[in-house]
Amino acid sequence: MLNKFKFICYTLVIFLLLPLAPFQAQAANNLGSKLLVGYWHNFDNGTGIIKLKDVSPKWDVINVSFGETGGDRSTVEFSPVYGTDAEFKSDITYLKSKGKKVVLSIGGQNGVVLLPDNAAKQRFINSIQSLIDKYGFDGIDIDLESGIYLNGNDTNFKNPTTPQIVNLISAIRTISDHYGPNFLLSMAPETAYVQGGYSAYGSIWGAYLPIIYGVKDKLTYIHVQHYNAGSGIGMDGNNYNQGTADYEVAMADMLLHGFPVGGNANNIFPALRSDQVMIGLPAAPAAAPSGGYISPTEMKKALDYIIKGIPFGGKYKLSNQSGYPAFRGLMSWSINWDAKNNFEFSNNYRTYFDAIPLQK
């Protein structure tokens, strides 16, 4: 373990000296520069049912949660939790008239998607396009929390061989191409699937990296779930606990700067554009049973550092000390939990982002 740690540290020194070009993309260019993205419950878990038309206007993007697969695990299905299809579509139209984006989130904790072959891939594509056309969604969010893993011999994120991953990349690209450049494509993986690839690459560790890389030119933004994760190793080799400003900065920095996969300085996952990077947070302590809630006061320290380059005296040092002004914003689980928690999340962060001058 000690030798592996030293190896990671040595490769990090080499890596930090390398100039990394960010991914290029042109997707969904009609969005604001600082976003609040919230998941909306299409179910009742005790936080109450909120009609779409009654969602707080402080949210920019509403992720309708969730489109889930049926028995074949490839056909995505969706039925509104309230009212009729006509009422639900009317509420989506209303939100869009107010400048909001309404996205169908695919998966969730229980939404397994399996695409082992071309037939399953085509069912997945057809079902999603049917739902988009029926309800008028602005895009899709890929929130697969199970079923994504790398086969044992799949070691190159640039050229994956695991059928599930290859077919998912192909399906996402097909759907995105069908709707054009303003189609909104987002992702909400857990940290193990992304930042976990820094320490090891295999099974679930880093399993989202080939997907991100494979749709980099279509991706609007990604908001990794910085909760229910325990802790994570930053690029400085230190372990940071979730729910702290250091953790938020360290995890975000990997996507903003790029990082060596599996500690290998010759295998770099390139930086995303900073406007493609967001952070996912729970709106209340109860929204993340396994932890990760961070108070607005603490989180604003992290945001000041990430966006403005203003340090807060933490242990982790941002790779770009001047910050990343185009960092896109925050996602929250969820709109419903935020409402139940007296709108702490949306009130605090809407005010924070609105106070940042627009980039010229």
CATH of the domain at 147: 3.20.20.80
Question: What pLDDT sits at residue 30?
Answer: 80
Flag whether 43 is in a domain.
Answer: yes
Rg (CA), the chain: 19
Flag whether 3 is in a domain.
Answer: no
Alpha carbon distance 24, 354 (integer Å): 26
| Domain extent for 225 | 35-355
**Encoding tokens for residue 163?**
């059928």
> Residue 359: pLDDT above 90?
no
Flag whether 97 is in a domain.
Answer: yes
Alpha carbon distance 227, 214 (integer Å): 25
Of 23-37, 70-84, 91-105, 107-121, which gets the smallest average pLDDT?
Answer: 23-37
- Token pair 């390139």 is found at 270
Phi, psi of 58 (to 5 degrees): -75, -15
% of residues, the chain, pLDDT over 90? 88
Flag whether 11 is in a domain.
Answer: no
> Residue 358: pLDDT above 90?
no
Cβ atoms within 10 Å, residue 17: 8
**Encoding tokens for residue 235?**
């690029």
> Residue 105: pLDDT above 50?
yes
Of 24-38, 268-282, 314-328, which gets the smallest average pLDDT?
Answer: 24-38
**Encoding tokens for residue 208?**
């989202």
Phi, psi of 297 (to 5 degrees): -60, -45
> Residue 3: pLDDT above 80?
no
Flag whether 301 is in a domain.
Answer: yes
Question: What pLDDT sits at residue 29?
Answer: 52
Q: Report residue 1's pLDDT band, with 50, 70 and 90 as the boundaries.
A: very low
Flag whether 213 is in a domain.
Answer: yes
> Residue 222: pLDDT above 90?
yes
Question: What pLDDT sits at residue 14?
Answer: 39
Q: Which residues are catalytic?
A: 145
> Residue 277: pLDDT above 50?
yes
Among 169, 167, 170, 75, residue whose Cα is nearest residue 124: 75
Of 24-33, 89-98, 273-282, 311-320, which gets the smallest average pLDDT?
Answer: 24-33
Position with higher pLDDT, 206 vs 11: 206
Question: What pLDDT sits at residue 147?
Answer: 82
Q: 17: phi > 0 → left, psi -120 to 50 → alpha, else beta; which?
A: alpha
pLDDT digits (tens, 9 = 90+) for 184-194: 999 999 999 99
> Residue 127: pLDDT above 60?
yes
Identity of the amino acid at 318: L
pLDDT averaged over the chain? 92
Please count the structural domains in the chain. Answer: 1
Flag whether 360 is in a domain.
Answer: no
Flag whether 81 is in a domain.
Answer: yes
pLDDT digits (tens, 9 = 90+) for 11-42: 444 344 443 444 333 344 589 999 999 999 99
- Strand 231-233 and strand 239-241: pairing? antiparallel
> Residue 81: pLDDT above 90?
yes
Contacts (Cβ under 8 Å, ≥6 apart) of 84: none
Helix (H, G, I), strand (E, B) or coil at 181: coil
Helix (H, G, I), strand (E, B) or coil at 215: coil
Contacts (Cβ under 8 Å, ≥6 apart) of 275: 33, 221, 326, 327, 328
Phi, psi of 41 (to 5 degrees): -75, 120
